[in-house]
């Protein structure tokens, strides 16, 4: 059972999902029609959504456009009234809500209330954080009903950790995960599932065993070993690991980095999961980090349902189906990668052999919003 099947099985067990099945059927049906015909054909409305609570972050990670000051969009946070308006429009269709994009979600002071609103609609919620705001928010996070909490921790010591997570505090993140684990016990809650995410880079690739030990110590249930995304030869030389398994890139004949991508004129995300930035701008996927391919604004252009079936969205999908390689954001995308974007495994006390039978449950999810 791979990651996607496990996710689907969990979601289908939720009481409010049954009423959403007709829309899911329409979306899946139109997805396969598009895949077969390479023509834009859209029925229903998205049942998955990626939403950016804010594009502001407290860290300065060099491969992130926020941390490296490459963000050209204005900084801001999504207002609670706007989030509520959006959930009133599409919440009855959604079964999965990813609550992050380019910033640190907990910078938005209304973030846990956003989770509560989504949970009231029967939506599975997950977020990814750098972990610096967990201690003071531990009980609020658990009480919000958040399903999955991904904590980015790319090192097993302060020295290794701060090489990439610039301005980060290793002990604070470590204690933050422990605070969530302790709050779950106090409140008798199984959620959120804590997932420790480890991006494999040149300076930390020797720590994969140590990070597994750390995950167990901090009370994580899952560990995710992830590959790094780079943009320049300089970044590749500094950050890409030596282990080929953990490299998304290879060098071409001119010494330039090239993504290990199959040339395919298709993309699941433009048919399944739009991205809504903090200000309401709709991006086709999370690789449109600066919203250069904005398709409308859910707060000023008639809402997401109208935009989803609009002419600009149809034209973008058709461009994907016709000549995807000519779209710049697709050149460094994970869709069609010939290597794993990440591998997941359950965390267990046998640190040298962490549940190999469980590891197979989570492997082989090659293309994901990252």
At 146-180, the pLDDT tens digits run: 999 999 999 999 999 999 999 999 999 999 999 99
Answer whether residue 370 shows pLDDT above 90.
no
Tokens of 344: 């997941």
**CA within 13 Å, CB half, 8:** 7
Rounded to 5 degrees, φ, ψ at 221 are -95, -25
Whole-number Å distance between alpha carbons of 180 and 219: 8
Handedness of CA 9, 199, 135, 96 (dihedral sign): negative
Higher pLDDT, 362 or 161: 161
Tokens of 163: 């090489």
Burial class (CB in 10 A: 0-12, 13-18, 19+), 5: exposed
Which of 270, 312, 321 is closest to 35 using CA atoms?
A: 321
Whole-number Å distance between alpha carbons of 250 and 134: 37
In Å, how far are 49, 317, 335 from 125, measured between CA atoms? 10, 27, 23
How would you classify the pairing of strands 148-152 and 193-200? parallel
| pLDDT band per the 50, 70, 90 thresholds, residue 3 | low
Q: What is the pLDDT of residue 12?
A: 65
Higher pLDDT, 194 or 333: 194
In Å, how far are 151, 268, 347 from 367, measured between CA atoms? 20, 9, 23
**CA within 13 Å, CB half, 191:** 14
Tokens of 360: 């197979």
Q: What is the pLDDT of residue 363?
A: 40
Q: What is the pLDDT of residue 259?
A: 86
Q: What is the mean pLDDT of residues 73-101?
A: 97
At 304-321, the pLDDT tens digits run: 999 999 999 999 999 999
The percent of residues in the chain predicted with pLDDT above 70, rounded, is 89
| pLDDT band per the 50, 70, 90 thresholds, residue 364 | very low
Whole-number Å distance between alpha carbons of 355 and 361: 10
Burial class (CB in 10 A: 0-12, 13-18, 19+), 335: buried
Handedness of CA 75, 232, 59, 178 (dihedral sign): positive
164 three-class SS: helix
Tokens of 15: 């009481």
Other Cβ atoms less than 10 A from the Cβ of 240: the count is 20
Whole-number Å distance between alpha carbons of 107 and 54: 7
Q: What is the pLDDT of residue 333?
A: 86
Q: What is the pLDDT of residue 254?
A: 77
> Strands, E, within the chain: which ranges?
48-51, 96-99, 124-129, 148-152, 193-200, 222-227, 249-251, 257-259, 275-276, 282-283, 342-346
* H or E element at residue 203: none
Higher pLDDT, 15 or 235: 235
Q: What is the mean pLDDT of the chain?
A: 90
Q: What is the pLDDT of residue 139?
A: 98
Predicted TM-score (pTM) of this structure: 0.91
Annotate 84-114 with DSSP letters as a single string: HHHHHHHTTT-SEEEE-SSS-GGGSTTHHHH
Q: What is the pLDDT of residue 106?
A: 98
């Amino acid at each position: 059972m791979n990651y996607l099947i496990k996710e689907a099985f969990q979601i289908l067990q939720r009481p409010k999902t049954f009423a959403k099945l007709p829309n899911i059927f329409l979306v899946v049906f139109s997805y396969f029609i598009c895949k077969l015909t390479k023509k834009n054909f859209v029925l229903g409305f998205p049942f998955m959504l990626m939403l950016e609570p804010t594009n502001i972050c407290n860290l300065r990670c060099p491969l992130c456009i926020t941390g490296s000051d490459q963000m050209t969009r204005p900084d801001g946070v999504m207002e609670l009234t706007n989030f509520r308006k959006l959930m009133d429009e599409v919440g009855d269709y959604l079964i999965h809500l990813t609550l992050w994009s380019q910033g640190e979600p907990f910078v938005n002071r209304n973030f846990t209330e956003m989770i509560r609103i989504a949970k009231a609609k029967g939506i599975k919620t997950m977020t990814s954080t750098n972990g610096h705001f967990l201690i003071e928010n531990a009980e609020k996070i658990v009480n919000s009903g958040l399903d999955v909490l991904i904590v980015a921790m790319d090192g097993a010591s302060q020295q290794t950790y701060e090489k990439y997570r610039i301005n980060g505090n290793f002990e604070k993140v470590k204690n933050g995960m422990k605070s969530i684990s302790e709050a779950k016990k106090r409140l008798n809650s199984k959620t959120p599932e804590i997932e420790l995410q480890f991006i494999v880079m040149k300076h930390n690739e020797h720590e994969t065993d140590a990070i597994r030990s750390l995950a167990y110590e901090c009370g994580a249930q899952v560990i995710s070993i992830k590959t790094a995304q780079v943009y320049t030869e300089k970044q590749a030389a500094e950050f890409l690991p030596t282990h080929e398994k953990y490299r998304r890139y290879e060098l071409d004949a001119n010494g330039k980095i090239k993504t290990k991508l199959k040339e395919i004129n298709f993309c699941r995300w433009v048919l399944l999961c739009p991205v809504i930035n903090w200000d309401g701008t709709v991006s086709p996927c999370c690789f449109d980090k600066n919203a250069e391919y904005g398709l409308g604004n859910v707060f000023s252009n008639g809402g997401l349902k109208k935009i989803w079936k609009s002419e600009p969205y149809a034209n973008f999908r058709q461009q994907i189906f016709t000549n995807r390689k000519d779209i710049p954001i697709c050149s460094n995308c994970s869709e069609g990668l010939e290597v794993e974007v990440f591998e997941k495994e359950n965390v267990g006390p046998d640190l040298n052999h962490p549940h190999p039978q469980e590891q197979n449950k989570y492997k082989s999810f090659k293309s994901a919003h990252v």
